[in-house]
Amino acid sequence: MPGGADHRGIRPGVHSADAFAPAAFGRGWPGPVNLDAWVADHFDELVRFRRHVHAHPDLSNHEQPTAGLVAERLRAAGLQPVMLPKGNGLSCDVGSGEHLVALRADLDALPLPDVKDVPYRSTVEGVCHACGHDVHTTVVLGAGLALASLGDALPGRVRLLFQPAEEALPSGSLDIINAGRMAGVQEIFAIHCDPRTLAGQVGLRVGAITAAADFVKVDLSGPGGHTARPHLTVDLVGALARVVSEVPALLSRRVDVRSALSLVWGAVHSGVAPNAIPQTGTVLGSVRCLDHAAWELAPKLIEQLVHQVVAPTGASAVVEYTRGMPPVVNHPHSAGILTQAAVSALGEESVVDTQQSMGGEDYSWYLEHCWGAMARLGVGRPGEALDLHQGSFDVDEKAIGYGVKLLAEAALIALHERVV
């Protein structure tokens, strides 16, 4: 099978996974209209929906307009969405029965200006969908509507989860979980846009596919003084410089290199005058880690290293460590279903290998509750070199149809194997 998958749809080289291989699914799309035809009939509508969301982005924790738009479309299809208490996210069950799988999307945009010259350019100054959440939302909506068209032929329930605040801490997946929307879910699937993979391809792997992502803040303080007499006070800026340069270097020597535990500073603040030693200073950074065990050790280890580095300077240090999310670890069974769904819906050539990235994704919190996997949905165009979290980011909109087919087929396979 192209892309390196074996006959069961399990990625090789990480797990043998014999016990988790999904059952063969050869029944085809069980509705009166096949999946290809459904997507073709609704493709223009889905593109319009995505463009509207793209043009009207909402920042994290303020997604009420987008959530309301999704709910309106679901109600028009005869479904009954349930809003989160703040109205900035929702869930919606499609079908009925005891067997329940979920599809997840995220609604929020980023505080970045949209620099594209397109008709659907963001109308909100300084805010744009630079990570593809508009596509994620459209794909899960489309997959849900396609599955709803099956009526009684759908062998169970599919819960559509539209979460807020993927780009913020605390993350919006916890809002979904704390609202009880994961209750009864047996398996969950999601996509993430990948501009480095061409539209029509799906990147899959078993095991960790993202990194853990946390934030750290270090506040230093001292008595302050004149730069002509640093020996009479604490050279606070010098102490900050030691934290910035030495803590990441020491950290790399305290964990296995394969864990790739990385601390990178993003902001330093201190002082206002060239001849005055300040009394306070702050440095902010992010922690990334490929390994769950090293991620568990990171808060205590980083705090120890900060105090170790600062002690000789005479400054006082306070470390504030904010947990973000663990790595997304694709379960072999769920990754197998996504692989099988990609082959079934898009063709064998659609499946490509993908690597674990240092990016963080709060989808990982769902995987603390049930099996699941995330696929990288190719959205790239030939010859383009766009990347995520850039104001120029855009997608090949054919990827919307491919994503709908992938997730609808995955949900159907997962439900079918539970009832046979």
Which percentage of the chain shows pLDDT scores above 70? Answer: 93
Q: Is 296 annotated as a binding residue?
A: no
Say which residue, 181 or 255, is predicted with more confidence. 181
What confidence score (pLDDT) does residue 28 get?
Answer: 65
pTM exceeds cut of 0.75: yes
Chain segment 278-320, per-residue pLDDT in tens = 999 999 999 999 888 889 999 999 999 999 999 999 999 999 9
Q: How confident is the prediction for the chain on average, in pLDDT?
A: 92
Is the per-residue pLDDT at 6 higher than 50? no
Q: How confident is the model at residue 386 (pLDDT cuts 50, 70, 90)?
A: confident
Please state, in angstroms and rounded to a whole number, the distance separating the CA atoms of residues 2 and 350: 8
**All domains of the chain, ordered by start, with CATH?**
18-210+327-419 (3.40.630.10), 212-325 (3.30.70.360)
Query: Residue 280: CA atoms inside 13 Å, Cβ hemisphere, count?
Result: 4
What confidence score (pLDDT) does residue 176 get?
Answer: 98
Q: Is 226 annotated as a binding residue?
A: no
Instruction: Report, as an integer, the average pLDDT of 247-271.
Output: 90
What confidence score (pLDDT) does residue 19 get?
Answer: 35
Catalytic position from the list 166, 175, 361, 362: 166
Name residue 193's beta-bridge partners. Answer: 377
Instruction: Report, as an integer, the average pLDDT of 60-70.
Output: 98
Tokens representing residue 5 in the block: 């998958």
Q: Is 192 annotated as a binding residue?
A: yes
Catalytic position from the list 63, 93, 106, 108: 108
Chain segment 189-202, per-residue pLDDT in tens = 999 999 999 999 99
Has 108 been annotated as catalytic? Answer: yes
Has 166 been annotated as catalytic? Answer: yes
Instruction: Report, as an integer, the average pLDDT of 143-156.
Output: 96
Name residue 110's beta-bridge partners. Answer: 128
Hey, which bits of 132-246 come out as E strands?
157-163, 187-198, 202-204, 207-208, 212-221, 225-226
- Whole-angstrom Cα Rg for the chain: 24
What confidence score (pLDDT) does residue 259 get?
Answer: 75
